[in-house]
Structure 1
Amino acid sequence: MSIDPGNPLPKYVQLRDLLLDWITEAGLGVDDMIPSERELSASYGLSRMTVRQTIDLMVSEGRLYRVPGKGTFIARPKIEMSLVLASFSEDMRARGYEPGARELIRQVIPASGHTARMLDIEPGTLVHHIERMRTADDEPMAVERSNIPAAMVPGLEDFDLAERSLYEVLENEYDILLDSGEQTIEAGICDSADSRLLGLPAGSPVLVMQRRSFTKGQCVELALSTYRADRYQLHSRLDPRRHGD
């Protein structure tokens, strides 16, 4: 296939679509190198500037990455962020990744006014505050900060949450089965602390997720998680609108 001069799409966008098709048809995978800008320019009859614009676009989309002095390579596909109530560990295993965690902070603290409102408890009530870095196949993916009322989970500090899923501990050790949740996701900028943990430049775009998890109408957990935007994308099924809505 070639660039269509009559197509209203900009040439750099047409080239992007052609390259995506070519990558699939050629069976290229993660870390495989694509042709150089000079080669692509000659193959498709485009200027180097247009080809570079296409590569820049595909790098920004997380489809390609550059290695200075070596070339441009195919990036790992982004992970779709789950919009169902599931633990990070469950979600990663379902996608074929090996989940991991490293504990950063583990303490019992008085709930701030905001945390108390979110958990529907009195300000100053003791909560377990847990910060963990989450990984998939040993690659840093997210920094997760959870708050759980201490009275609901006495002795939680005795469990190794680097080795076990928090939700699995809640269910199997405390008979707390999470049956509903509320979740908001927004774009954010990575601060210096999280950037070091996630291996990103400070100021990189991230996805910030706040989740409240419930059992029988009672809020069990307030979690604020920072996800790498270069490794995640959102996917949702849209059903037709019903007449009269």
Structure 2
Amino acid sequence: MRDLLVTRGADGTPLYLQFARNLRDHIESGAITPGDALPSERDLSEMAGISRVTVRKAIEALIDEGMLFRRQGSGTFVLRRIETPASVLSSFSSDARLRGEDPGVFWMIKSYAQPTEEEAAALSIPPSTRVARLGRVRLSAGEPLAIEHAVVPADCLPDLTSIGDSLYEAMGRSGFRPVTGTQRVRASLATPTEAGLLGVQQNSEVLRIERVTRVESGRAVEFTRSVYRGDRYDIVTELRGIGAEPD
């Protein structure tokens, strides 16, 4: 990393932006890989021949870009983006475990209620149906990544006190694990409350996902609205051709 040296006055660009650009180039080239810790601010200062204040400003700029993140008491790390396929129905918990990370959950609400008109329509149930209303922050390796608000018919779940990290695992115990579904994804900005729960700045980019899932019979068993951190997730879709184009 010795080529992080900054040339003063080279092109009129502020030194911290020059250094941020050099760091970005290293990350994008693979010289610093996702999950790696950066050297200390003092070491970076010596490598680049600039002040620690300049190094700190550059790091903060890359944190704002979503390229780096700080872990309290551990240092600054290169952010690892998570690719999730849009065409596969999977649970947050199983995805985390496949990445070698431990899933976690912070429950905000876990109660029974009656559905709103919109929820009843999405689930194709009468408005008088008893549903479970489940609100939680999803964590992976201790890091908050998503906020989920799910509505599930009460008969599709065991007792609410027995629901752990995975909603789908709990639904499976009652014989209602989803096998198909539809979802809509749109880009948005985090509200102050969402930013606080996710540990990001207000108006940070987020992905809003609305999902309805079904069991094999076609019955709708889950209506969930989620907010995922845009700095951590890429939604990947496989594309297929539809045949030869007309002349």
Cα deviation for residue 226 of structure 1 reads 0.8
Q: Please name the residue that 1:206 is paired with.
A: 206
Asked whether 1:78 is paired with 2:81, we answer yes
Cα deviation for residue 28 of structure 1 reads 8.2
Describe the shift of the 1:189–1:29 C-alpha distance in structure 2 as closer, same or farther (beyond 3 A): closer
Q: Please name the residue that 2:12 is paired with.
A: none
Write the distance in 2 (CA, Å) between the matches of 1:60 and 1:199: 13
TM-score (norm 2): 0.73
- After superposition, what is the alpha-carbon deviation per residue over 1:14-62, rounded to whole angstroms, capped at 9, x for unaligned? 978843455x2466852214956x9499xxxxxx9xxx99x95x55552
Q: Please name the residue that 1:180 is paired with.
A: 180
Q: Please name the residue that 2:156 is paired with.
A: 152
Describe the shift of the 1:28–1:210 C-alpha distance in structure 2 as closer, same or farther (beyond 3 A): closer
Amino acid at match of 2:220: C
Contact 2:105 2:139 in 1 (8 A): yes
What are structure 2's unaligned runs of at least 5 residues? 4-17
Q: Please name the residue that 1:122 is paired with.
A: 126
What are structure 1's unaligned runs of at least 5 residues? 2-11, 42-47
- After superposition, what is the alpha-carbon deviation per residue over 1:59-79, rounded to whole angstroms, capped at 9, x for unaligned? 555223589xxxx95522111
Describe the shift of the 1:21–1:144 C-alpha distance in structure 2 as closer, same or farther (beyond 3 A): closer
Asked whether 1:189 is paired with 2:192, we answer no
- 1:91-106 matches, within 5 Å, as 91-106=95-110
Asked whether 1:19 is paired with 2:26, we answer yes
- 1:42-61 matches, within 5 Å, as 56=61, 59=63, 61=65
Write the distance in 1 (CA, Å) between the matches of 2:33 and 2:84: 25
CA-based RMSD: 3.5
Contact 1:62 1:75 in 2 (8 A): no
Write the distance in 1 (CA, Å) between the matches of 2:69 and 2:160: 41
Cα deviation for residue 124 of structure 1 reads 3.7
Asked whether 1:137 is paired with 2:138, we answer no
Higher mean alpha-carbon deviation, 229-238 vs 212-221, is at 229-238
Write the distance in 1 (CA, Å) between the matches of 2:128 and 2:34: 55
Describe the shift of the 1:145–1:29 C-alpha distance in structure 2 as closer, same or farther (beyond 3 A): closer
Describe the shift of the 1:175–1:18 C-alpha distance in structure 2 as closer, same or farther (beyond 3 A): same
Aligned length: 218
Amino acid at match of 2:37: D
TM-score (norm 1): 0.74
Contact 2:149 2:225 in 1 (8 A): yes
Cα deviation for residue 205 of structure 1 reads 1.8
Amino acid at match of 1:105: I
Contact 1:81 1:235 in 2 (8 A): yes
Write the distance in 1 (CA, Å) between the matches of 2:34 and 2:78: 11
The percentage of aligned residue pairs carrying the same residue is 27
SS at match of 1:128: strand
Contact 1:82 1:91 in 2 (8 A): no
Runs of at least 4 residues off by over 6 Å: 14-17
Describe the shift of the 1:244–1:77 C-alpha distance in structure 2 as closer, same or farther (beyond 3 A): same
Amino acid at match of 1:209: I
Asked whether 1:225 is paired with 2:214, we answer no
- After superposition, what is the alpha-carbon deviation per residue over 1:64-100, rounded to whole angstroms, capped at 9, x for unaligned? 3589xxxx95522111134211111011111121111
Describe the shift of the 1:201–1:64 C-alpha distance in structure 2 as closer, same or farther (beyond 3 A): closer
- After superposition, what is the alpha-carbon deviation per residue over 1:101-128, rounded to whole angstroms, capped at 9, x for unaligned? 1211011111101111111112242210
Describe the shift of the 1:233–1:118 C-alpha distance in structure 2 as closer, same or farther (beyond 3 A): same
Cα deviation for residue 240 of structure 1 reads 3.4
1:32 to 30, 35, 38: 38
SS at match of 1:151: helix
